[in-house]
């Protein structure tokens, strides 16, 4: 199988390593061509044996069996027009964290080939050196608007994703973005806001002294670099603003209870939050 991976960071690099492991197990041949506008990343990916070859021309990928787009969501939008001449036999998967704008921008020539996916995994690290062949194992991947896909491309993609250990869930792209705003995008904004408010008020000594597991967990994703997240916030702007507003209202409700020393309501409010325990 010949695979082109656009974007050799954490997501693309980890996908390459997972495929390599799987094909070695099957004793089948696999060739991975990488493309990344960051030359340093390209060279690192070659050195680390994540890819077998590097190209800087996306046309070199258009006749491969599979193309993976593992780049920030605005970069996906910019890349889509160049993919319209891809072979009808080429399956294309994108790993963007927003889906509605992407599915609306897929050129009609490749709509049957194009699997719009969002893998629910990642870390705060980035670049090929962060790649981890186990990143996808046991994790959920959401496939959106699959009714637009050709069955063969869809089955091929699903088999491959399952082979590297992922659990597949289907969702409407528009719904996906609304849900992702609440469960993923807004929490990232909250983590950044938490880090910023603490950095503004506190000194290094006190942060080091008082940061227990709770604060460390809550601020971990505040270490994520802006590149990917600005694109996501921009593409999912309306849903994000709505989710952030709901969250702020919830916290203001808490403030009101505390101001009024209404501890019985605080208890109810906490007990309600504890219900999350029953789900995850």
User: In the complex, what is the shortest distance from the CB of residue 161 to a copy of itself, in angstroms, rounded to a whole number?
Assistant: 14
Token representation of residue 268: 């109810």
Phi, psi of 258 (to 5 degrees): -65, -40
Virtual CA dihedral for 201, 204, 209, 215, nearest 10 degrees? 60
Burial annotation 83-97 (CB, 10 A radius, 16+ → b, else e): beebeeebbbbbbbb
Given the complex with a copy of itself, which of 68 and 180 has the nearer CB atom? 180
- Coil, strand, or helix at residue 274? helix
Return the DSSP state at 220.
G
Q: What are the C-alpha distances in Å from 217 to residues 29, 132, 194?
A: 41, 21, 11
Residue that the structure tokens 């250990």 belong to: 165
Q: What's the first-to-final CA gap in the chain, in angstroms?
A: 37
Instruction: Report the C-alpha gap between 238 and 181 in whole angstroms.
Output: 9
Given the complex with a copy of itself, which of 162 and 220 has the nearer CB atom? 220
User: In the complex, what is the shortest distance from the CB of residue 127 to a copy of itself, in angstroms, rounded to a whole number?
Assistant: 14
Instruction: Report the C-alpha gap between 233 and 55 in whole angstroms.
Output: 30
User: In the complex, what is the shortest distance from the CB of residue 25 to a copy of itself, in angstroms, rounded to a whole number?
Assistant: 26
Question: Would you say 33 and 4 are in contact if contact means Cβ atoms under 8 Å apart?
Answer: yes
Return the DSSP state at 166.
P
User: In the complex, what is the shortest distance from the CB of residue 257 to a copy of itself, in angstroms, rounded to a whole number?
Assistant: 9
User: In the complex, what is the shortest distance from the CB of residue 54 to a copy of itself, in angstroms, rounded to a whole number?
Assistant: 28
User: In the complex, what is the shortest distance from the CB of residue 170 to a copy of itself, in angstroms, rounded to a whole number?
Assistant: 10
Given the complex with a copy of itself, which of 29 and 213 has the nearer CB atom? 213
Given the complex with a copy of itself, which of 147 and 214 has the nearer CB atom? 214
Given the complex with a copy of itself, which of 78 and 267 has the nearer CB atom? 267
Given the complex with a copy of itself, which of 3 and 161 has the nearer CB atom? 161
User: In the complex, what is the shortest distance from the CB of residue 209 to a copy of itself, in angstroms, rounded to a whole number?
Assistant: 5
Given the complex with a copy of itself, which of 56 and 230 has the nearer CB atom? 230
């Amino acid at each position: 199988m010949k695979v082109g991976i656009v974007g050799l960071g954490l997501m693309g690099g980890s996908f390459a390593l997972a495929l390599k492991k799987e094909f070695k197990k099957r004793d089948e041949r696999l060739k991975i061509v990488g493309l990344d506008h960051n030359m340093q990343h390209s060279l690192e990916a070659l050195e680390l044996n994540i890819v077998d070859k590097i190209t800087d021309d996306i046309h070199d990928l258009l006749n491969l069996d599979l193309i993976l787009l593992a780049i920030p969501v605005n970069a996906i939008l910019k890349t889509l027009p160049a993919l319209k001449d891809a072979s009808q036999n080429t399956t294309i998967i994108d790993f963007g964290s927003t889906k509605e704008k992407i599915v609306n921008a897929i050129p009609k020539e490749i709509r049957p080939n194009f699997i719009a996916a969002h893998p629910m995994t990642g870390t705060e690290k980035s670049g090929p050196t962060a790649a981890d062949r186990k990143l996808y194992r046991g994790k959920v991947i959401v496939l959106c608007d699959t009714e637009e896909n050709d069955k063969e491309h869809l089955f091929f993609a699903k088999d491959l994703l399952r082979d590297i250990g992922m659990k597949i869930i289907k969702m409407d792209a528009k719904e996906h973005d609304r849900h992702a705003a609440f469960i993923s995008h807004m929490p990232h904004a909250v983590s950044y806001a938490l880090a910023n408010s603490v950095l503004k008020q506190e000194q290094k000594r006190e942060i080091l002294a008082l940061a227990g597991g709770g604060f460390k967990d809550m601020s971990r994703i505040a270490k994520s670099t802006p590149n990917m997240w600005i694109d996501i916030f921009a593409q999912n702007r309306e849903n994000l603003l709505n989710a952030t507003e709901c969250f702020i209202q919830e916290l203001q409700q808490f403030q009101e209870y505390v101001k009024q020393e209404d501890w019985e309501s605080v208890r109810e409010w906490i007990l309600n939050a504890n219900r999350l325990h029953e789900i995850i």
